[in-house]
Amino acid sequence: MIKCRKKSCYGIVNENEVQLHHLIPKCIGGTDLDGRRYLCKKHHDIIGLKIIPILFNYIPPEKKEEAKTKIKEYTLQWLKTG
């Protein structure tokens, strides 16, 4: 059993219900070296598949590398919130 790392998610989920989230999502160039956390499907879909990729599309190309650092910081803070 693995627990979702989102603070407000108190449930322990089965291994087949948990997903590995990259702190900088792979869809915007993140790697394993950027850090990873286990999340339940609900929270992974919210942060890794919806919010970040959509916002990243609106960042000018010259700011994308800087934005990746900010995304990692934001994600770590988001995981700590209720």
In sign, the C-alpha dihedral spanning 20, 22, 23, 25 is negative
Tokens of 42: 């609900």
User: Residue 65 — φ and ψ, nearest 5°?
Assistant: -65, -45
Q: What is the pLDDT of residue 32?
A: 92
Tell me the pTM.
Answer: 0.76
H or E element in which residue 37 lies: strand 36-40
Q: Residue 14: is its pLDDT beyond 80? A: no
Tokens of 54: 């959509």
Q: What is the pLDDT of residue 17?
A: 79
Q: What is the pLDDT of residue 59?
A: 93
| pLDDT tens readout for residues 25-73 | 888 899 999 999 989 888 888 888 788 888 888 999 999 999 999 989 9
